[in-house]
Amino acid sequence: MQPLRHIKNGFPPETQHGIDEYGKYSVYALYCSSVLGLAALYADDSIDEYACPSEIGGYILELYPAFHKIFASTKTSQIEIDTDADPHYEATGLGRFQVKGVPIELGLSMSFSAHPSYRLHDSLKPREAYAIGPSWKTGKVITSLAAGSNIRHRTKLTRLGRDTIGFNVEYRSTSADSPVVAETYLLAGNELRIHSSLLSSQPVDTTYFTIPLLVSDGNNKSSVDILVGNIRVAYMGHYYTIQFDKALSYEIRPTVFANRNGIYRNLVVKKPGNTIQVSLQLE
């Protein structure tokens, strides 16, 4: 892009959208130059080139307790989950869904912090933490997984192949009265199916599922088509389709907010009871 920039968005570089206070262009450009220079100096051309793990797919990687991230990758798609987010940068839950060849910001490349440490215009700062995932209503109180902290989790693999990965993540808060949040993920090709359920000592009146929809990358804008049980976002020749039970109610909320990559607004699907399921597709 012209002029050259080091953050993956279309905002004018002078706005410094998405940049940490220490993340100046000069710092990162010099670091990149240093890494490439060292690679050239130490390269051994006698070593044959092989595909890297992300090109092969068929793995799930978790580095707990040193880190609180889960990565799952097929040969064409990847997701990333933060199981106990740093509230200055991320939200707890699914923050990344990407498919090879599709712009990273369309499905989502990172979640939304309620108190971002990186630079955003005040009008674009999220009012609360957002990720792709559930929230629930007990009595008059609505709580979200995205805003959770001090959470313990357990991961169970159910299916593993280069084209398809299935696994469950169970979240337990240190708060005794918080429900257990059980997420089931099935990543196959360009589609991700998610089933959320809440196990609580208190009745769960309503379950909500939030999916941030791209509005703009700072330069290019998206458009949204609304069908029964089907929402499709069109952006730069690619499509993001969200499917759910056509009997469920939903709303696309007007409030916009941003992360490093672009501007978004929330699609919120609503279902009585303690379970909900959605399907996400990128093409």
CATH number, residue 223: 2.70.98.70
- AA identity, residue 103: P
Domain span at residue 126 reads 51-282
pTM score, whole prediction: 0.93
On whether residue 232 sits in a domain, the answer given is yes
The pLDDT tens digits along the chain (283 residues) read 777 777 889 999 888 899 988 877 777 788 889 999 999 999 999 999 999 888 899 999 998 888 999 999 999 999 999 999 998 899 999 999 999 999 999 999 999 999 999 999 999 999 999 999 999 998 888 999 999 888 899 999 999 999 999 999 999 987 767 789 999 999 999 999 999 999 887 788 999 999 999 999 999 999 999 988 899 999 999 999 999 999 999 999 999 999 999 999 999 999 999 999 999 999 9
212 within some domain = yes
Q: Which amino acid is at 180?
A: V
- The helix/strand/coil state of 138 is strand
Structural domain includes residue 35: no
Q: Which helix (H) or strand (E) holds 103?
A: none
Residue 76: CB atoms within 10 Å = 19
Predicted confidence at residue 132, as pLDDT, reads 98
Task: Establish if 10 belongs to a structural domain.
Answer: no
What are the E-state strand segments in the chain?
A: 59-62, 69-73, 77-82, 93-99, 133-138, 141-144, 151-160, 164-173, 180-188, 191-199, 206-216, 223-227, 230-235, 238-243, 249-252, 257-258, 263-272, 275-282
Q: Determine the pLDDT at residue 2.
A: 79
DSSP 202-261: S---EEEEEEEEEEESSSSB-EEEEETTEEEEEETTEEEEEE--TTSEEEE----EE-SS
Question: What is the pLDDT, as a whole number, of residue 161?
Answer: 94
Residue 18 domain flag: no
Query: Is 141 a domain residue?
Result: yes
148 belongs to a structural domain: yes
Give me the amino acid identity at 276: I
pLDDT score of 257: 97
In a domain, 166, yes or no: yes
Number of domains comprising the chain: 1
- What is the structure's pLDDT at 121? 94
Contact assessment for residue 100 and residue 252, using Cβ atoms and an 8 Å cutoff: no
CA–CA separation, 33 and 28 (whole Å): 9
Q: Are 220 and 233 in contact (CB under 8 A)?
A: no
* Cα end-to-end distance, the chain, whole Å: 23
